[in-house]
Amino acid sequence: MSRQARIPAEEVTGTIAELMVEQAAHSPDALYAIFADRTLSYGHIHQEATRLARALIAFGIRPGDHVATLMPNVPEWVIAYFGCLYAGARCVALNARYKTHELEFTIPHSDAKLLITTDAIADHVDFTDILRESLPSLPGQADPRALKLAEAPELRAIALWGDTRLPEFLPFADLVAMGAEVGDQAVEAARATARADDTAAIIYTSGTTSRPKGCELTHRGIQSSWFTFSTVVDLKAEDRIWMPMPFYHTGGIGPMTAVLKAGAAFMTQPHYQPEEVIQLIELYRINHLYPGFPQLSLNVVDDPRFTHERFHYVRSLLNVGPEAMQQHIQSRLPPDAILLNLFGMTEGSGIITFTPFDAPFAVRAVSSGIAPELREVRIAEPESGAILPVGETGEIQFRGPNSFKSYYNDPAATRATILEGGWVRTGDRGRLDADGYLTFAGRLKDMMKVGGENVAAAEIEAFIQKMPGVKLVQVIGVPDDRLGEVPYAFVERTTDSDGAALSDDAVIAFCQGALAKWKVPRGVSFLTEWPMSATKIQKFKLPAYLPEEWRSRDETAKV
């Protein structure tokens, strides 16, 4: 079996803002961002980002200051992001799905001096209401240009993009007007202060038991990570990428950066709507599909309209999932399109390993790929830290220019994650083969102890995924008086006849005799909707979906 031995990489020396300036000068009319109702060219982004940067400077934002965004995937976010970078500031990309519990921590923790939000999706989410609840002293503020909030002392204003007028929010148009007397030279000077190793964005990641941690991602890190994608698919200026993941996720700002390198374009939506996705892919002849996760992939490739003939121009799709799912998705793609796989995380600026474009499907279906040049991956014993040999399973660790800088304002968490020599702990399990290909084996904490036997949920999930009628599966451990804990499976059925016939007994019978006895789920529930973060199933919430008799076991175990 032949494999591409390497993924070439290049040293990154400049900033993301400099890339946009270069592309806007070279191809001002070329498309950069595609939305359902609007497109943005490189020249337009440059013009609007410069205008916003003038306003930020006039407002008092200085290089290195933090400016937060609280918006979904709307055109205004793109302008706000580049406006921050043009002013030499750092963008705190707050999760637009955060509610009061998360925002009352992340806003003050981020030390943002300005927050930019929008009323563009007020019919779905009213960010002004959420912010008023999260910042109790916000209502009644006398001057929206000079907030004085006890709970967020660094925050001086919240700029509201749109037509809504509220006394404590600074209209975005008024913010922009403040920059009328600031010249382009001031913007150029502020932009020039940023260096490749400076923080470009702070993205908060949530754990299951602790508060969110703000990952500081550098200009070098984001570019190094995502130039991997543009290199692997040989991205050209005329190419276009479908990118459904949110801008406040590395799967959002990452592809935005990948297209910058080539002068290409990306397509996205404020809300994931499969019907509209298919229409836009066809209208703009999107070449590369980057849904990343099966929840986003399957609704598109399984649509009856997604035929080989109709979408023959699609060249690649990125999906992370078990082998049976990968086989299914590859079968739904046009014959010349390639299914790609990766291993990534926010702390790696998105991409850590990637499957080469010319690797055989048998490799791409089960492997998360190899580390590109300038990056290293190793496997360590989680407790002792001893480095494990080829073929053994342990914690995945990496280092390279894609590594995050630190957890903002959290030195203890940073020290626990970034080890001596720059190695980053991932909290994920995996193994390397002799050629350096990584196989993902689940989360370190996604393990069960069943009667003294270690059981990886990912192993059971991959097996059940092969069963006809199964669309998605997640397995958790549930307390058991005799065995300590036992596996329990949550399954989403497909919409075909096999899915309709699927029963809990059938799933258990499928596993019996094929899996070791202790790996066979003791119970099965069927879901049609999953508890989700922006892009991933929130497994830690699944116990709440257990039937009453199982939920009582779980609650008893917690007492």
Last residue within a domain, chosen from 179, 202, 225? 202
Asked if residue 354 is part of any domain, the answer here is: no
Tens of pLDDT along 101-121? 889 999 999 999 999 999 999
Tens of pLDDT along 261-283? 999 999 999 999 999 999 999 99
What pLDDT shows up at residue 516? 79
- Quote the mean pLDDT of the chain: 93
DSSP bridge partners of 398: 377, 424
Q: What is the mean pLDDT of residues 309-316?
A: 98
Asked if residue 153 is part of any domain, the answer here is: yes
Q: Quickly list H helices, 111-208.
A: 127-134, 172-177, 184-192
Asked if residue 392 is part of any domain, the answer here is: no
Question: Starting at the edge strand that comes first in sequence, how are the strands of the sheet with 114-118 ordered?
Answer: 170-171, 157-161, 114-118, 66-70, 90-93, 199-205, 213-218, 406-407
pLDDT tier for residue 442 given thresholds of 50, 70 and 90? confident
Burial of 70 per CB tally in 10 Å (0-12, 13-18, 19+)? buried
CA dist 291 and 296 (Å) reads 5
Tens of pLDDT along 469-518? 999 999 999 998 888 889 999 999 998 877 788 999 999 999 998 887 88
419 φ/ψ angles, rounded to the nearest 5 degrees: -90, 175
Asked if residue 423 is part of any domain, the answer here is: no
In sign, the C-alpha dihedral spanning 47, 51, 53, 54 is positive
pLDDT tier for residue 5 given thresholds of 50, 70 and 90? low
What pLDDT shows up at residue 556? 46
Asked if residue 96 is part of any domain, the answer here is: yes
Q: What is the mean pLDDT of residues 385-413?
A: 97
Tens of pLDDT along 123-136? 888 999 999 999 99
pLDDT at 209 over 70: no
Single-letter residue type at 529: E
Asked if residue 453 is part of any domain, the answer here is: yes
> Looking at 87-91, 230-234, 386-390, 481-485, which range is the least confident one?
481-485
CA dihedral 351, 356, 362, 363 (to 10 degrees): -60
pLDDT at 154 over 60: yes
Domain extent, residue 57, equals 16-28+37-202
pLDDT tier for residue 151 given thresholds of 50, 70 and 90? very high
Last residue within a domain, chosen from 186, 202, 218? 202
Identify the CATH number of the domain in which residue 522 sits.
3.30.300.30
Number of compact structural domains in the chain: 2
DSSP bridge partners of 288: 241, 316
Q: What is the mean pLDDT of residues 378-385?
A: 94
Asked if residue 313 is part of any domain, the answer here is: no
What pLDDT shows up at residue 233? 96
Number of H helices, E strands in the chain: 18, 26
Asked if residue 400 is part of any domain, the answer here is: no
Identify the CATH number of the domain in which residue 137 sits.
3.40.50.980
pLDDT at 398 over 80: yes
Q: How far is CA 396 from the centre of its chain?
A: 19
pLDDT above 90 as % of the chain: 82
Contact present, 68 and 102 (Cβ < 8 Å): no
Structure tokens given for 531? 């508890």
Last residue within a domain, chosen from 184, 202, 220? 202
